[in-house]
Amino acid sequence: MNSQHLQQLKQIIQPNEIITDPDITKAYCTDQRGRYHGEVFAVVQPNTVISIQNIMRYCHQHRIPVTPQGGNTGLCGGATPHISVNNQGIILSLAKLNRLRALSYEDNTITVEAGMVLADLQATAKRAGRYFPLSLASEGSCQIGGNIACNAGGLNVVRYGTTRNLVLGLEYVLANGEMVSHLTPLHKNTSGYEMYQQIIGSEGTLAIITAATLKLFAPPLTTLTAWVGVENIQSAIQLLGALKNHFAECISSFELISAQALSLSATYSHLQTPTESDWHILLELTDSIPEQNLIDPLISILEQGNWINTVIAQSETDRSHLWTLRENISEAQRHLGASIKHDIAVPIEKIAEFIEDCQQQLHQAFPQSQTMLFGHLGDGSLHYNVFISNILNSEVYQHEESINKIVYESVLKYQGTIAAEHGIGQLKNQWLPRIRTQTEMNWMRAQKQQLDPHGILNVGKVLPFQS
């Protein structure tokens, strides 16, 4: 049957748009953490939107499961095929659909295809004298289509919002091959329900995103980066409040790093730790006005609050040193071993209480547990990764359910979310009904049924899987 589909697909797309060599397709079938391994009979890599429409029409007609894939940097197993459809379907990789379509200085917008790598998009905006603010440690590989599909957050949410806030319009192909184009640079449009908003954050379960019109901004011409050692989370939150009072939208990043996470990253990066403390803040202030005086008011705020355990970057090298320590945490953890990762958000005012409570419960249940905590405190989201010091290999996943139960129940107790910015994928879909009401779940199922009636798009992702 698969060979028949393969022959048919070869009739409707170009030879360079299909990969069947198992040595090559294997890499597409494994997620970047190496946790999920799917199987497909082909990876298709269309060059054009028309080609995507043809593929989707065929797959819809023959009920062939399609897994959309961007840069495959997602952390929830969303971009690799679910085990239930092993060898029955295809991966649709957007990598070749990566062109710049338009740039408007008047509207301050850029329109690009979904497969453009985020770093290339940032560079294109920079060459045009503009700034695209979405920034993640995976920006060298992830694609803007994947960012939109996950509603990615990253390092600048405190100032610019999540990806959703940056999207003005989308072009996408539905499961049946129909293309919906809403690539408008309009900053205002109140004409009825906004369908493209449902596609943002739908993780490839409702449509294939093919292009987007995005907001651009003035480039930051003054940047001030500082590292502050703080005694506890409460002190970090007070610092955030003090900065908000004075600097408002000039705060572009406010990152929290625990002593354990810093020590791990410093060793991995062969860099010195800037401060000695239980907790650390990496903050960045930016302004589009050149040579704006940010430093004097920052020093004054830090002195007033006795946040004197501080290093202020004096050069681009200093700045890069500080950011490397933050950005290498994920990679340093990977070298340490396997852990149970959580991408959570809790209201900022409850974070300190949540951390203490959850930590206590984890230690009770798993005395050998160690939490590696870091994240985007400025917007309330945290990476809460639990290591068990005597099980640093994949055997730790045997305890995943119990650890998740402790962490996620605590998150819910403090009115947080179990998926701040990485999405649900196949990692957390069984938890979705716990964080959404029955009405919301019914609405999501109705959307899925209407846009993908044969259920071919990203099977087993987001909505709880029923075999």
Ligand X SMILES: Cc1cc2nc3c(=O)[nH]c(=O)nc-3n(C[C@H](O)[C@H](O)[C@H](O)COP(=O)(O)OP(=O)(O)OC[C@H]3O[C@@H](n4cnc5c(N)ncnc54)[C@H](O)[C@@H]3O)c2cc1C
Q: What residues line the site for ligand X (CB under 6 A)?
A: 32, 67-75, 78-79, 94, 114, 136-138, 142-143, 145-147, 149-150, 152-154, 203-204, 208-209, 330, 421-422, 425, 458, 461
Residue nearest to ligand X (CB): 146
- C-beta of residue 158 within 8 angstroms of C-beta of residue 246: no
- C-beta of residue 67 within 8 angstroms of C-beta of residue 458: yes
Q: What angle do CA 253, 162, 400 make, to 5 degrees?
A: 90
- What one-character DSSP code corresponds to residue 33? T
In angstroms, give the least distance from the CB of 114 to ligand X.
Answer: 4
Between 72 and 410, CB nearer to ligand X: 72
User: In angstroms, rounded to a whole number, what is the distance separating the alpha carbons of residues 11 and 166?
Assistant: 38
User: In angstroms, rounded to a whole number, what is the distance separating the alpha carbons of residues 305 and 221?
Assistant: 28
Between 72 and 310, CB nearer to ligand X: 72
In angstroms, give the least distance from the CB of 231 to ligand X.
Answer: 26
Q: How far is CA 433 from CA 261, 306, 464, in A?
A: 32, 45, 8
In angstroms, give the least distance from the CB of 210 to ligand X.
Answer: 7
Between 68 and 89, CB nearer to ligand X: 68
The letter for the amino acid at 433 is P
Of 198, 200, 140, the closest CA to residue 164 belongs to 200
Q: Edge-to-edge strand order for the sheet containing 279-287?
A: 310-312, 222-230, 279-287, 251-258, 369-376, 381-388, 343-345
Between 145 and 220, CB nearer to ligand X: 145
Between 72 and 369, CB nearer to ligand X: 72
In angstroms, give the least distance from the CB of 368 to ligand X.
Answer: 26
In angstroms, give the least distance from the CB of 1 to ligand X.
Answer: 24
The letter for the amino acid at 287 is D
In angstroms, give the least distance from the CB of 412 to ligand X.
Answer: 21
In angstroms, give the least distance from the CB of 426 to ligand X.
Answer: 9
User: In angstroms, rounded to a whole number, what is the distance separating the alpha carbons of residues 446 and 452?
Assistant: 10
Between 204 and 235, CB nearer to ligand X: 204
User: In angstroms, rounded to a whole number, what is the distance separating the alpha carbons of residues 410 and 180?
Assistant: 41
Between 68 and 177, CB nearer to ligand X: 68
Give 95's contacts (C-beta < 8 A, 6+ positions apart). Answer: 45, 70, 71, 115, 143
- C-beta of residue 56 within 8 angstroms of C-beta of residue 66: yes
Q: How far is CA 459 from CA 37, 83, 307, 310, 384, in A?
A: 14, 9, 50, 49, 27
In angstroms, give the least distance from the CB of 7 to ligand X.
Answer: 26
Between 5 and 422, CB nearer to ligand X: 422
The letter for the amino acid at 113 is E
Between 273 and 330, CB nearer to ligand X: 330
In angstroms, give the least distance from the CB of 331 to ligand X.
Answer: 7
Between 369 and 458, CB nearer to ligand X: 458
Of 228, 247, 217, 27, the closest CA to residue 135 belongs to 217
In angstroms, give the least distance from the CB of 335 to ligand X.
Answer: 13
